[in-house]
Amino acid sequence: MTEEDAAQPPEKPRSRRWFLGVGGGLLGAAAIYGLSRGGFRLWMNKSLPANAPRIAFSLDDTWLNDLGITDTTYQQAMTRAGGRLERFAPDLNMQEGSIPEDLLSMHGIDGLLLTGGGDVDPALYGGDEDAAILVNRECDDFEIALIHQALTRDIPVLGICRGCQILNVAFGGTLRSLRNIETLNDAHFTFRGHAVTIAQGSLLSRILDTSDLENVLSFHGQAVDQPGDQVRVVARGPEDIVEAIEAGDPKRDWAIAVQWHPEMAPANPLHGKLFRAFVERASRIAATRWN
């Protein structure tokens, strides 16, 4: 060994260098994610006026939510539309094991957003319990109670994916599984997306100003089977699967639910129309609080 070699610090074992590199990368990614989330929250707060309608949303409890992905996509879409999302969850809003009958009014809520997530408990509609995954009965009961509270108080409801399913079940409808039929599963749970045909004259068709969507992002293993009382099927996709419903009294209530994921394309003008129409309806409720 030369004097020059002796002066050099000993080289770290390769495995240790690898772990340090990976650890540093993960820490860097976490820091960037934290900063971006902080900047995102700051953007939301500055983008919305004080009188922006307050939208309650019951976020899914899957791994996508744990990573903050679904929260961010819904927050971005709703902020662009002018609505302020307020997180609602059973563990935060139960009182002695029950849901207050005026929970939405207590919190000054102007709209209800039902998001994606696990399967609705088959026991609620007489389905096959062995075919369901990621069931959360507490969440089901909570969201059904919120749906009825909202429509009783003329608060608009927008459902997405699982939100479409729970809205139908809340009105006594049933669901079907798509996972046990390969062609249905491949067509409706895919990054490729699929086309949707919307019933002419429906509220959804008037909002989007079209009866045909060439491609929507679709990731659902269940779908509406038998529509519930006062539930109208207003869109269908491949193999005639229900892709959107409207519920309640069509002359009074604003309740729309779609199986696809418009929140994943918030910059798309067509999908933005749905969120804006929802927020505009919620703004009417908000106006009564601010005037």
At 35, the pLDDT band (50, 70, 90 cuts) reads very low
At 285, the pLDDT band (50, 70, 90 cuts) reads confident
Are 33 and 149 contained in the same domain?
A: no
Split into its structural domains, the chain has a count of 2
Q: What is the tens place of the pLDDT at every residue in 120-131? A: 999 999 999 888
Are 161 and 199 contained in the same domain?
A: yes
The yes-or-no answer on residue 107 being catalytic is no
Residue 259: its pLDDT value, please? 93
**Strongest mean pLDDT among 25-34, 35-44, 182-191, 275-284:** 275-284
Q: What is the CATH number of the domain that holds 176?
A: 3.40.50.880
Are 204 and 65 contained in the same domain?
A: yes
pLDDT averaged over the chain? Answer: 81
The pLDDT > 90 percentage for the chain reads 45
Are 40 and 142 contained in the same domain?
A: no
Residue 220: its pLDDT value, please? 78
Say which of 143, 243, 246, 263 is annotated catalytic: 263
Q: Which two tokens stand for residue 279?
A: 């927020």
Are 39 and 123 contained in the same domain?
A: no
Residue 216: its pLDDT value, please? 80
Residue 197: its pLDDT value, please? 96
Are 133 and 78 contained in the same domain?
A: yes
Q: Which has the minimum average pLDDT: 98-102, 103-107, 287-291?
A: 287-291
Residue 113: its pLDDT value, please? 96
The yes-or-no answer on residue 261 being catalytic is yes
Q: Which has the minimum average pLDDT: 104-118, 161-175, 262-276?
A: 262-276
Say which of 188, 194, 220, 261 is annotated catalytic: 261
Are 36 and 62 contained in the same domain?
A: no
Are 194 and 242 contained in the same domain?
A: yes
At 45, the pLDDT band (50, 70, 90 cuts) reads low
Are 208 and 69 contained in the same domain?
A: yes
Residue 36: its pLDDT value, please? 43
Q: What is the tens place of the pLDDT at every residue in 178-228? A: 888 777 666 666 677 778 999 999 999 999 999 998 888 778 788 999 999
Residue 32: its pLDDT value, please? 41
Residue 1 lies inside a defined structural domain of this protein: no
Residue 117 lies inside a defined structural domain of this protein: yes
The yes-or-no answer on residue 188 being catalytic is no
Are 24 and 119 contained in the same domain?
A: no
Supply the range of the domain harboring residue 28. Answer: 12-47
Say which of 139, 161, 220, 271 is annotated catalytic: 161
Q: What is the tens place of the pLDDT at every residue in 59-103? A: 665 545 544 456 678 888 899 999 999 988 776 555 555 777 888
pLDDT exceeds cutoff 90 at 245: yes
Are 135 and 91 contained in the same domain?
A: yes
Compute the average pLDDT of residues 250-255. 93
pLDDT exceeds cutoff 90 at 147: yes
Are 191 and 236 contained in the same domain?
A: yes
Q: Is 202 helix (H, G, I), strand (E, B) or coil?
A: coil
